[in-house]
């Protein structure tokens, strides 16, 4: 920008530059500050924002220069744009530095009611997010009560209208009613529990509870409403078959105590029902998504995370001949894994730490390009023979595949990488967890929901593993 400054031209237009500079500084300062206040920021932060934005960048004189070159603007505009840009660029750091002093001055000048009004407006705006959270909680509560309530009523009326009538052929009316009400509660208890137990996460409730004393009354009210609805629901079910009020109250108390002590199991069972229902409801979309993901995986089958398999020949004069793989510790030294050893017509799948190598063995090395290249150089130095690289497609029995552990899949919780290796009879090359890669994980590393596991194994073994545990 300094090369574009023409002192003579700027001096000729000094008054225009001065006026535009003042308009830029004070105009942007005032309107940016007002914009920040309207968006809900406190007065101090709004002043700081305004003071930091009181400049124009080089884009202004770039546009002016372009207009000048195209002949659509006058010669007057370009030196003014350059001059204003240069001046405001130098004044901005000082404006930012003095923002606290300007705020202190405004506190003294502006009426206290105005300052208090701005702060109240900012506080109210900040509460909009909390109101949105409250709306979500209320919406979740209403939908949970409504859906589960309809299911409970439907089950109760069906049993009273049809099952009770059929049972009277085998039992007395009292016996048929007793069997019917027991059956009704067995079928309805997961949904009854959902009304009182399927609430927002404890952390969210705790956040609202600690945030303000005004939040505590609505929280207590929601819990009380849920509990009241459960009580009346149980009484409603009981009154469909019997008419004793005292017995229904005793039943309510007993049922609440039972649900309290067995809440863990009710929660698991209800989540299972909910997951199955959602899966069946969206089965077509889920299958379509799986097919699309499979197509993408087939297209990039051997390039995930830059990990692939390369075949190499063991040199005949290598110093590691006959040494167990566990002692060689190539996994730590070179960050690679051995997927298989091909010795003549025999293939050793996923060799263990006791396996040894012999001259002219063909070994399948798993790793990234960088790790494989390092290992290639190591073999070249030892055997003075260039390694033979071939594509994985020449080894028909093996495949490299990525397996997803679903977020709602509890079967694999508390399992480790070693369990995957033993079950799939393969090697876990890497784990993608929360956007981070873990290469060559130790067998004791636990599996977490949402993990992406890159596994190399025999095609049949890996397919059986994926199908058995319903993985993606």
pLDDT tens digits along 134-192 = 677 777 778 888 888 888 888 888 888 888 888 887 888 888 888 888 888 888 877 87
For residue range 266-280, list pLDDT tens digits in order. 566 666 666 666 666
What separation, in Å, do the N-terminal and C-terminal C-alpha atoms of the chain show?
A: 57
The per-residue pLDDT for 3 is 43
Least confident of 345-354, 355-364, 463-472: 463-472
What are the start and end residues of each CATH 3.30.70.1450 domain in the chain?
303-391, 398-468
Residue 1: per-residue pLDDT? 45
d(CA 174, CA 389): 81
CATH homologous superfamily of 398-468 equals: Regulator of K+ conductance, C-terminal domain (3.30.70.1450)
Q: Which residue has the tokens 């990990």?
A: 307
Cα–Cα distance measured from residue 354 to residue 44, given in angstroms and rounded to the nearest whole number: 69
Topology at the third CATH level for domain 303-391: Alpha-Beta Plaits (3.30.70)
Q: What is the pLDDT of residue 387?
A: 43
Q: Between the CA atoms of 220, 221, 227 and 230, what dihedral angle is there, to the nearest 10 degrees? A: -160
What is the structure's pLDDT at 383?
63
Q: What is the pLDDT of residue 240?
A: 79
Distances (CA, A) of 89 to 25, 44, 100, 316, 469: 11, 23, 20, 70, 62
Q: Could you give the percent of the chain with pLDDT greater than 70?
A: 69
Strand partners, 249: none
pLDDT level of residue 95 (50, 70, 90 thresholds)? confident
């Amino acid at each position: 920008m300094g090369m574009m400054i023409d002192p003579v031209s700027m001096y000729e237009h000094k008054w225009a530059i001065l006026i535009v500079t003042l308009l830029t500084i004070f105009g942007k300062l005032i309107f940016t500050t007002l914009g920040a206040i309207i968006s809900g920021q406190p007065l101090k932060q709004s002043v700081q924002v305004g003071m930091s934005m009181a400049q124009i960048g080089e884009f202004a004189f770039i546009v002016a220069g372009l207009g000048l070159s195209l002949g659509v603007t006058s010669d007057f505009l370009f030196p003014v744009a350059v001059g204003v840009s240069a001046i405001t660029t130098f004044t901005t750091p000082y404006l930012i530095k003095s923002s606290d002093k300007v705020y202190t001055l405004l506190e003294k000048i502006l009426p206290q009611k105005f300052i208090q009004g701005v702060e109240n407006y900012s506080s109210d705006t900040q509460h909009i997010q909390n109101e949105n959270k409250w709306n979500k909680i209320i919406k979740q509560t209403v939908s949970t009560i409504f859906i589960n309530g309809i299911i409970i009523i439907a089950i109760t009326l069906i049993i009273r209208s049809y099952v009770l009538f059929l049972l009277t052929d085998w039992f007395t009316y009292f016996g048929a009613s007793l069997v019917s009400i027991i059956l009704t509660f067995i079928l309805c208890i997961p949904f009854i529990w959902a009304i009182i137990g399927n609430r927002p996460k404890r952390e969210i409730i705790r956040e609202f509870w600690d945030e303000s004393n005004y939040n505590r009354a609505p929280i207590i009210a929601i819990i009380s409403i849920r509990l009241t609805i459960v009580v009346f629901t149980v009484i409603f079910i009981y009154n469909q078959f019997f008419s004793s009020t005292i017995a229904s109250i005793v039943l309510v108390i007993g049922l609440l105590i039972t649900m309290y002590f067995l809440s863990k199991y009710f929660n698991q069972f209800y989540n299972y029902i909910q997951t199955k229902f959602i899966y069946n409801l969206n089965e077509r979309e889920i299958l379509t998504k799986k097919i699309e993901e499979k197509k993408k995986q087939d297209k990039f089958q051997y390039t995930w995370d830059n990990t692939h398999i390369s075949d190499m020949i063991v040199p005949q004069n290598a110093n590691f001949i006959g040494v167990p793989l566990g002692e060689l510790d190539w996994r730590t030294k070179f960050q690679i894994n051995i997927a298989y050893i091909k010795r003549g017509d025999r293939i050793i799948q996923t060799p263990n730490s006791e396996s040894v190598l012999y001259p002219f063995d063909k070994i399948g090395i798993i790793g990234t390009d960088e790790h494989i290249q390092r290992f290639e150089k190591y073999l070249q130095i030892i055997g003075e023979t260039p390694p033979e690289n071939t594509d994985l497609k020449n080894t028909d029995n093996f495949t490299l595949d990525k397996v997803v552990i679903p977020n709602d899949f509890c079967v694999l919780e508390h399992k480790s990488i070693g369990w995957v290796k033993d079950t799939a009879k393969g090697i876990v090359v890497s784990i993608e967890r929360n956007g981070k890669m873990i290469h060559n994980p130790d067998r004791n590393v636990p599996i977490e929901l949402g993990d992406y596991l890159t596994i190399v194994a025999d095609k049949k073994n890996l397919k059986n593993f994926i199908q058995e545990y319903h993985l993606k």
